[in-house]
Amino acid sequence: MLRPVLRSLPRSTPSLLARALATSAGDIKIQKVGMVGLGLMGHGIAQTAATAGFDVVALDANPKGLESGMKRIEGSLSKLLSRGVKKGTLTQQQADEQAAATLARIRPTTELAELADCDLVIEAIVENVEVKKEFYANLGKVAKPSAILASNTSSLAISDFAGSSGRASQVVGLHFFNPVQLMKLVEVIRTDATDPKIFDACKQWVLDINKHPVSCKDTPGFIVNRLL
């Protein structure tokens, strides 16, 4: 069973911390983040966003995958914070409070409709163009009109599936590296259709979660994977 604290946030009201730390670039604000797929990369992205103070809707269509992803987040938080305790930079009480606060900002779900009020939705689902096309077609019907839609794909061209959302100008790539909690680099990918304001807002959000954004064109492998 998932811990009760994970369900503690009201669905319609952003936390005070999320409002205070909201990413703002021009007239685009990011307060609530949706994370789709809680596997190797997805759970790390959800944890990182919540740790930085953003409210997160964590979605995995598979209930077992959802529970597993949440347990990985709890375990990772415990491991990272315990290092601070061992170094003497945190007391055990402070570590426990930080872990509880981070987990309280994450709302787990198996329902796509729960993403309806997210400002930014990131997917880390299977690396298959046809699967992504179907997902973005469904997401485009659910996400609010102003939502930014992002893919964590490491190799697929964003433009191959962005149009399926019905809002290609709002689709970008946000390619994190494993382990997300420790790796600072994030490739921010724009297609020819991506709105520059959307692109800038995503770069600012990456900074706001304490990562380093690198601008990339929508080419196979982007930058880092092409060099490997």
Q: What pLDDT shows up at residue 219? A: 82
pLDDT of residue 222: 53
CA 135 – CA 59 distance, rounded (Å): 13
* Token pair recorded at residue 158: 């964003």
Q: Give me the pLDDT at residue 27, please.
A: 78
Separation in Å, CA 140 to CA 136, 148, 218: 6, 10, 21
Annotated binding-site positions: 76, 87, 154
Report the DSSP pairing between strands 171-176 and 148-151: parallel
Write down the pLDDT at residue 220: 66
**Residue-wise pLDDT tens for the chain (228 aa)?**
333 333 333 333 455 555 455 665 567 999 999 999 999 999 999 999 999 999 999 999 999 999 999 999 999 999 999 999 999 999 999 999 999 999 999 999 999 999 999 999 999 999 999 999 999 999 999 999 999 999 999 989 999 999 999 999 999 999 999 999 999 999 999 999 999 999 999 999 999 999 999 999 998 655 555 444
Position 197 scores a pLDDT of: 97
* Residues catalogued as catalytic: 154, 175, 187, 225
Alpha carbon distance 195, 33 (integer Å): 19
CATH code at position 70: 3.40.50.720
**What domain range includes position 222?**
4-227
What's the total number of domains in the chain? 1
Annotated binding-site residue numbers for CoA: 76, 87, 154
| Polymer length in residues for the chain | 228
pTM for the model: 0.87
Q: Is it true that the peptide bond before 10 is cis, omega within 30 degrees of 0? A: no
